[in-house]
Amino acid sequence: MCEQGDWMRPEDDHLLALLRTERKDTFTAIAAQLPLPRERVAERCRTLASYGLVEHLGSDIYTISPLGERYLDGEVETTELEER
């Protein structure tokens, strides 16, 4: 992984890695696999979506985006991303 923007939090890498494995998931399912409350997962998914690292599929379902994949592969520094 590359350098993180100051808007990222330590749990974001774990959340992105989980979405990479699961392909898509709900806030509740993600929270069950991470030591985070559902509300925190929801907030982080919304933030990651606003920077293009995850995609909102509707309801409370998210998936990792191609940009998120590239970040996990060390090809993108989130310090360079702008909020949409």
pTM for the whole structure: 0.90
For tokens 């990222």, name the residue: 8
| Residues 21, 49: Cα–Cα separation, whole Å | 17
Tens digit of each residue's pLDDT, the chain (84 residues): 556 778 999 899 999 999 999 888 898 898 899 989 999 999 999 999 999 999 999 988 999 999 999 999 999 988 888 898
Q: Report pLDDT for 6.
A: 84
| Residues 82, 84: Cα–Cα separation, whole Å | 6
Q: Report pLDDT for 61.
A: 93
Q: Report pLDDT for 12.
A: 94
Please write down the HEC assignment for all residues of the chain: CCCCCCCCCHHHHHHHHHHHHHCEEEHHHHHHHCCCCHHHHHHHHHHHHHCCCEEEEECCEEEECHHHHHHHCCCCCHHHCCCC
Architecture, CATH, for domain 10-73 = Orthogonal Bundle (1.10)
Q: Report pLDDT for 45.
A: 95
Q: Report pLDDT for 3.
A: 62
| Residues 68, 72: Cα–Cα separation, whole Å | 6
* Residue-range domain boundaries for the chain: 10-73
